Amino acid sequence: MPVRTLRVSARFVCTSVRRLTLRGVTRMAAKMAYADILATTLGQENTYGALAGRVPAGPMSFARISTDDQNGLIRTYVGDGMFTDDPLDTFGSRAVVEVPGLQKLLKYVCKNGFEHHVAMNPASTAAILAEAFETYLGWGVYYHT
């Protein structure tokens, strides 16, 4: 079966996106806002402080660090992808991400019981993270390529 590249839109509902990562810092500034979805249950007055803006196209890496409490282990997965400029009509902090072999990655995540949230950064750093996690920290790493 050929490896396909799929794109997934991401809306960062529970996010800590730094201002310089969002598009518009020099064109039209990212803005401080309420976390609209969380506000439906927590009340708007309790959700101010989220940044709203679009992540610009460019390289990205993602990583997940998880504990396996029953076996006393720390496990991770890392990989590289691209933020794209695909249309995305929504609110909050948002991006469209292209990850080569996304179905393979999702199968791994589900079969191994990982949570679905990941950390992302606007650079290609997966190889560096994989080496550091495995070599220096002794963690189990799945490097998605």
| Structural domains of the chain in order of their starting residue, each with its CATH number | 5-144 (3.20.14.10)
Question: For residue 33, what pLDDT band results from cuts at 50, 70 and 90?
Answer: confident
Q: Would you say residue 76 has pLDDT above 50?
A: yes
In this predicted model, what pLDDT tens digit does every residue of 128-145 receive, in sequence order? 999 999 999 999 999 999
Cα angle 9, 114, 17 (rounded to 5 degrees) comes to: 45
Cα angle 30, 32, 38 (rounded to 5 degrees) comes to: 120
Q: State both tokens at 9.
A: 């839109």
* pLDDT recorded at residue 113: 92
Residue 27, SS3?
coil
Q: Would you say residue 55 has pLDDT above 70?
A: yes
8: which strand partners? 97
Q: What is the pTM of this model?
A: 0.77
Q: Would you say residue 112 has pLDDT above 80?
A: yes
User: Which burial class, exposed, middle or buried, applies to 7 when counting CB atoms under 10 A from its CB (0-12, 13-18, 19+)?
Assistant: middle
As a whole number, the mean pLDDT across the chain is: 82
In this predicted model, what pLDDT tens digit does every residue of 96-111 receive, in sequence order? 889 999 999 999 999 9
Q: State both tokens at 59.
A: 């390289």
Start-to-end Cα distance in the chain: 16
Question: For residue 87, what pLDDT band results from cuts at 50, 70 and 90?
Answer: confident
Distances (CA, A) of 53 to 3, 59, 73, 135: 32, 18, 37, 36
